[in-house]
Structure 1
Amino acid sequence: MCRETIMRVQFLFSTLLAAGVGLAGCTVAPQAPKYPIYMQDKPVAEAPSPEKALTPEPPVDENAGVQGLGTKGQITTNELPPPPPPPPPPADKVLAVKTPEPKPAAAKPAVTPSVKTLTAGYVYTLQAQDTLYGVSRRFGVPIQTLYQLNGLTASSVTRIGQKVLLPETAKDKGIEAYANGPAPEKVKTVVAQADKAPAVKPVEKPPVKVADATVVTPAPKPVVVPPTPKPVVKEAEKVEPIKPTPPVISKAFPDQTGIAKLGKGRFVWPYKGNVLVRYGQLGPNVRNDGINIGGPEGAEVVAADEGTVVYVGDQVKELGNTVYIKHANGFYTGYSHLGKVSVKANQKIEQGQALGTLGKTGAVDRAQLHFEIRYTPSSEIAKPFDPTLVLP
Structure 2
Amino acid sequence: MSAQSPWMLPPVLAFTLPALMLSACIPSASERRTSAPPPAAAPVPPPTQLATWDAQTVSPDARTVSATQYVVRSGDTLSGIARTTGASVSTIARANGIEPPYLIRPGQRLDIPAGRYHEVRRGETGIGIARSYGVDWSDVVTLNRLEEPYILRAGQRILLPGANRPNGNTRQLRAAAFDLDIDDIVTGGEPALAENEAPTAPVRTASRALPPDAAVRSPANFAGRFGWPLTGPILAPFGAGGEGERNDGINIAAPRGTPVLAAADGVVLYAGDEIRVHGGLVLLNHGNGWITAYANMDDLQVTRGQRVERGQFIARTGTSGQVDQPQLHFEIRRNRQPVDPAQHLPDLT
* TM-score between the two structures when normalised by the length of structure 1: 0.39
Is the helix fraction higher in 1 or 2?
A: 2
| Structure number with higher relative contact order (C-alpha < 8 Å, ≥ 6 residues apart) | 2
Pick the structure with greater CA Rg. Answer: 1
